[in-house]
Copies of this chain bind each other. A is one copy, B any other.
Amino acid sequence: MQSQWSKYSLVNGEFLPAETASLGIKDLSIQRGYGIFDFFKSIDGKFIFIDDHLERFYHSAAQMHLHVKQRPEELKVLLQALMEKNELPNAGTRITLTGGYSADGYNLAEPNMIITQQAFKNPAFNNIGLKLITHPHQRQLAEVKTLDYLMAIMLLPKVKEQGADDVLYHDGGMLRECPRANFFMVNHHNEVITSATGILQGVIRKQVLKLEINGLKIIERDFSLQELKTCKEAFVTSSTKNIMPVSSIDGVTIGHGQAGQVTTELATAFSKLIAG
């Protein structure tokens, strides 16, 4: 979903060309995969759900003992400045915070903060759904948006081989999430259900849980692969995908293999929300 990197990035508050900006090899992201991030889009110069994203960013940082020098309001000023410098009102913006330059390659140091942007156009709702394959995996530190995408990227060749678009994790048969998106199923009682535990608390997921649509009950509770087989629709949510239908899971078609009625209704309501 992501396209070109923007011209400038911010590394520890300094504007640097994204092409040449770097971190020293002692940084704990390179040494130990240690760091957190958050990612959000802007539409026509407005960062979408920015307070939710920043709240999660500070939460992730605190969980991992990483101190953020800036207060949220100061961070917003930096984000705005970078958007203007890059002349990119429509972008995906990522704030990464790493474990810093560790003296011994293990213990935490003062974090390094990198802010990068990529041109990104908010996608229109697409009737054609994603093909998912399931894989047993529970993300560690599930509520923290860590740098850890080892399993997801390791699985990419398998996803491609099977003609799929992405992977859907389950833990001992209990549904969890996709590597970069939350997952929802819709059952025949018009219940819209997303897993409650062992997942990243997605910002779009949170907004969908708040939608109010007549005749729909939108809830969070854990459910199994077995229950998933009884669903009539399924979709994923993320900042890049908004609400995107799921057309098949492990080769089995969901509903009619394209966006169902409930998914379309939710997507319409959500589109209004971010346009508003």
Query: Is there an interface contact between B32 and A21, defined as CB atoms closer than 8 Å?
Result: no
- B contact residues around A149 at 8 Å (CB): 32-34, 106
Query: Is there an interface contact between A151 and B156, defined as CB atoms closer than 8 Å?
Result: no
Query: Is there an interface contact between B30 and A30, defined as CB atoms closer than 8 Å?
Result: yes
The winner among A3, A64, A105, A114 for most chain B CB atoms within 10 A is A105
Query: Is there an interface contact between B148 and A33, defined as CB atoms closer than 8 Å?
Result: yes
Q: Least Cβ distance of A160 to chain B in Å?
A: 10
The winner among A21, A64, A65, A149 for most chain B CB atoms within 10 A is A149
- Given the interface pairs A32-B147, A64-B154, the reply to whether A118 lies near B141 with Cβ below 8 Å is no
Query: Is there an interface contact between B33 and A3, defined as CB atoms closer than 8 Å?
Result: no
- B contact residues around A96 at 8 Å (CB): 25, 30-31
Query: Is there an interface contact between A65 and B157, defined as CB atoms closer than 8 Å?
Result: yes
**Tally of this chain's copies:** 2
Count the A residues whose beta carbon is within 8 Å of the partner chain — how many? 52
Query: Is there an interface contact between B151 and A140, defined as CB atoms closer than 8 Å?
Result: yes
Contact check: which of B18, B35, B150 meets A34 at CB < 8 Å? B150
- Name which residue of chain B comes closest to A4, CB basis: B103
A130 within 8 A of B: no
How distant is the Cα of A196 from the Cα of B232 in the complex, in angstroms?
A: 43
Q: Least Cβ distance of A12 to chain B in Å?
A: 11
Contact check: which of B65, B94, B116 meets A154 at CB < 8 Å? B65
- Name which residue of chain B comes closest to A9, CB basis: B25
- Given the interface pairs A2-B105, A148-B148, A154-B63, the reply to whether A29 lies near B33 with Cβ below 8 Å is yes
- Name which residue of chain B comes closest to A153, CB basis: B34
Contact check: which of B26, B65, B104 meets A3 at CB < 8 Å? B104
